[in-house]
Amino acid sequence: MKAIEIHGPRDARYHDVADPVVGPDDVLVRVRSVGICGTDLELYDGTMFYLTSGMANLPLIPGHEWSGEVVECGKNAREFCPGDRVVGECTVGCMQCDYCRRGWYNQCPNRTETGILNRSGGFAELIAFPRHFLHRCNGLEFDDAAFIEPTGVALYPTKLASVTPADYVAIMGPGPIGLFTVQVAKAYGARKIILVGTRDDRLAIGRACGADVTVNTRTEELAEKVRDATDGHMVDVVIEAVGHPSVWPDIMSIVAPRARIALTGLFAGQTCTVDFDPIVVKDISILGCLGSPNLWGEAIALHERGLVSSEPLITHRMPLASFSEAVEIVRDRRDGAVKVVLHP
């Protein structure tokens, strides 16, 4: 089969590789759509932490945002049939350790991560995937289904922070995760959604996705605008999707007492200066959110019901062979790029 295989920094080869082996608990899937994520850029550049720390090795087939069609089922995978449309999770736990047994497989010390950590990803014509981490999505188009993974990443902090119709919600960062979070928070009935960023074009997409208020921190005073939007209450929930230390003072300037702060961004070793006194005085809760454990069924249902859609975010569609060009389009945000979909 043809696949994109990364062999070193900026050395991505579109070439023939061996077809995947299908075990008794695996399902063979023909990949139909796969999205490019910021993590794929780090893998391509050779800067991703798993590579620099030695946790993951090259060569590697990347791609963790994918959808496809079942072509063959292992003897134990009787719940799937050829022709089923499916998506596969990013995190695959061992299902034997204490974390997996408690349902926390995103923290499994033996986990693999599709297209990232010791498991081939979806930038290929075929992928063999374990049935326990595969989900039907027969009601969705392939391009939409490819983004169940980032939808799950947006859903996890929304649930951990217990967003309700009583809550004013601020979402920090209008990147893909932030834009999906706007839609998820809307589906959960948030009282008002405030999207915060620095790019007017992305903020405009956020309004189209359901944000009630947008704030460009380069040209507007954040706390003042939030105070006006919430009648002085400030926000009950902050979902962070930036991954940069500069976001922390902004967050603390807009939280109400008893607020919940959910962090999804990775800061790449950068540290924030934190004054803990306001956190204590205001009874603030801080939540770390990794991945999307046990949420794929709900994420699919949100798309099937039309409450979340990938379409507002998809700006480019290209063949898989154009991977290297597509990476540069994402990096440069060329022609307003948000999400680029590749088709094997």
CATH class of domain segment(s) 154-288: alpha beta
The pLDDT confidence band at residue 269, using thresholds 50, 70 and 90, is confident
- The reported pLDDT for the residue numbered 234 is 98
| Radius of gyration from C-alpha coordinates of the chain | 20
CA triple 344-241-107, angle to 5 deg: 75
Per-residue model confidence (pLDDT) at position 49: 84
Judge whether 299 and 291 are in contact, CB under 8 Å: no
Would you state the pLDDT for residue 271?
A: 85
Lowest mean pLDDT among 49-63, 90-104, 250-264: 49-63
Q: What is the pLDDT averaged over residues 146-166? A: 98
pLDDT above 70 coverage of the chain, percent: 100
Q: Give domain limits for the chain.
A: 2-147+310-343, 154-288
User: How much is the pTM?
Assistant: 0.95
Say if residue 96 is exposed, middle or buried (CB neighbours under 10 Å; 0-12, 13-18, 19+).
exposed
Q: Does the pLDDT value for residue 89 go beyond 80?
A: yes
Task: Give the H/E segment covering residue 172.
Answer: strand 168-172
The pLDDT score that the predictor gives to residue 50 is: 87
Beta bridge partners of 35: 65, 341
Q: Do domains 2-147+310-343 and 154-288 have the same CATH topology?
A: no
* Domain topology for 2-147+310-343: Quinone Oxidoreductase; Chain A, domain 1 (3.90.180)
* Closest alpha carbon to 147 in 127, 176, 178: 176
Beta-bridged to residue 342, according to DSSP, are: 34, 318
DSSP string, 92-145: E--SSSHHHHTT-GGG-TT-EETTTBSS--SSBSEEEEEGGGEEE-TTS-HHHH
Q: Please, which pLDDT band fits residue 270 given cuts at 50, 70 and 90?
A: confident
Within the chain, what is the greatest distance between any pair of CA atoms?
Answer: 61
Confidence of residue 78 (pLDDT cuts 50, 70, 90): very high
295-333 pLDDT, tens digit per residue, is 999 999 999 999 999 999 999 999 999 999 999 999 999
